[in-house]
Amino acid sequence: MKIKNGFPITIRIAAAAVGIALLTLSGIASAQTDAGRIFRAGASTSNITPAVGTSINGNFSDETVQHIHDETHVRCIVLDDGNTQLAIAVADLCMVSRATLDKAKRRASSITHIPVEHMLVSATHTHSGGTACSVFQSDPDSGYLHFLESRIADAVINAHNNLAPARIGWGTGSEAGQVFNRRWNMKPGEPLINPFGNTDKVKMNPGVGNPNLLEPAGPTDPGISVVSIQALDGTPVAILANYSLHYVGGVGKGEVSADYYGMFAGRMQQLLNADRQHNQFVAIMSNGTSGDVNNINFGAASSVSSPPYHQMQKVANIIAAEVYKVVQQIKYQNWVPLSVKQKQIELMVRKPDKTELTRAKTILSKVNKPVLTSVEALYARETVLINDYPNQVSLLLQSMRIGDLAITAIPCEVFAETGLEIKAKSPFKSTFTISLANGYNGYLPTPAQHQLGGYETWRARSSYLETEASVKITQSLFEMLDLLNKENNP
């Protein structure tokens, strides 16, 4: 069973003279000025393409690599304000477990001495990359996990090796035409029976032109956040972008591809004339809050099919063009303060009750195939697996400050409305969220979205946190953002 496209940072001023002027104006202690401070940045990539014959995840059924259409990478930037160093790395993976990332971070930290808690590593959410954690019927190969640990670490180590004086700036663009909420309220009529035998109120991926469509059950976030880093002579060093789009998809069977994330990186390099530099230019597209948002316009009259890879190339070009426009407007700063907060929180697991477990076991007893093809059996198996989970799990949350820009990191597939709430309530001028970061704890529907049901709420290793999880996570992030904000504005 394969679901198409569905699833499976006080103003700081560098010049000493202006620093004194600021001191006179506001009485801020001289220790707060930034005279003589040097801001540095470095970027790097490392290749994490899975070998032919290994596992690809992102669907209900496992797939085996038959062909590599385009290589998959970890793309990393390291920033250094003279006091604090931090690393942001994004890997072309559907999701990656905390265990693997923790090992990669420790390895990178042992060489770079960047504290592990100053490293943010996320997955793009390509559905055509190597399997890096167990989900549905895909399990990672231990060799690939070992390879990933060292290659993720290499991206951080190389970016750290490339540290050189740099300037940095950021801005925001918008592209509303490529994001569509995929959860829909339907006209009354046909009951929406889920794999647990209960009735849902919303349908995920209801089909383009479905006559029973009423309205999307949630918003989209069309914002494109852009961080641009240049060498002091204006040579492009790196772009870190963030857009809330699940992925695009449309690959050939058994084919490896970094999806639109990889094509965006290539297109940005082309637009900025940053080919074949001595220090490689690195463009990164991180996944925003796209748990309920994909690239299919369900409200259109009819669906348009396009050859493999055409739609992802189109989306990559459109988003890269908008990012290029934003980059032209960016005002660069020669020094900005960096700071990171990391926190671990405990959340309850939505474990099945006795009746649910019995039902699941009964369903599975009637199936004697190695590969499950019915959604009911698939979720019965997930119910049994979640029953073995601990009652509580710990999640790693991060907030980073880069000047007056903030980045929050959540190890989940976060809904657009949660990302929009963080942007609106953050004490920082600009804030964006990187999803699927520092681990993988499944979908993060809001409590209200849990009430509606639908695929993203169906209990599985891809959705198992307590129904209040999004509220507790955002509360913790706001506490961290407040601390970061007070730290630099005493």
Residues that bind Zn ion (CB under 5 A): 413
Closest by CA to 320, choosing from 263, 281, 379, 362, is 263
The smaller minimum CB distance to Zn ion, of residues 135 and 340, is found at 135
Considering the complex, what minimum distance in angstroms separates the CB of residue 409 from Zn ion?
A: 17
> Shortest CA distance to 148 belongs to which of 199, 222, 97?
97
Nearer to Zn ion, 139 or 275 (CB): 139
The nearest distance, CB 244 to Zn ion, in angstroms, is 12
* DSSP H or E stretch at residue 243: strand 236-243
Query: What three-state secondary structure class fits 48?
Result: coil
Shortest distance (Å) from residue 108 CB to Zn ion:
27
User: Are residues 92 and 261 in contact, defined by beta-carbon separation less than 8 angstroms?
Assistant: yes
Residue nearest to Zn ion (CB): 413
Residue with tokens 């820009």: 405
Place of tokens 């999640």: 395
CA 41 remoteness from chain centre: 22
CB of 7 to Zn ion, least distance (A): 6
Q: How far is the CB of 416 from Zn ion (least distance, A)?
A: 13
Nearer to Zn ion, 251 or 268 (CB): 251
Query: Least distance to Zn ion from the beta carbon of 233, Å?
Result: 41
Minimal distance, residue 358 CB to Zn ion, in Å: 29
Q: Which of 363, 319, 407 is nearest to 86 (CA)?
A: 407
Beta bridge partners of 174: 223
Residue 180 DSSP code: E
* Two tokens, residue 281: 């230019």
Nearest CA among 345, 475, 467, 480 for reference residue 401: 480
56: three-class secondary structure by DSSP = strand
Q: Which is nearer to Zn ion, 202 or 338 (CB)?
A: 202
Tell me if 136 sits within 8 A of 182, measured CB to CB: no
* Residue 428 or 443 with smaller CB distance to Zn ion: 443
Give strand pairing partners of 170.
227
Name the burial class of residue 193, with classes exposed (0-12), middle (13-18) and buried (19+) by CB atoms within 10 angstroms of its CB. exposed
Q: Residue 6 or residue 169: which is nearer to Zn ion going by CB?
A: 6
- Between 428 and 458, name the residue whose CB sits nearer to Zn ion: 458
Nearer to Zn ion among residue 62 and residue 479 (C-beta): 62
Cβ closest to Zn ion, residue 154 vs residue 413: 413
- Closest distance to Zn ion from the beta carbon of 461 (Å): 12
Give the shortest CB-246-to-Zn ion separation in angstroms. 6
Q: Which long-range contacts (CB under 8 A, 24 or more apart) does 114-117 make?
A: 114/78, 114/85, 114/86, 114/87, 114/156, 114/160, 117/340, 117/342, 117/398
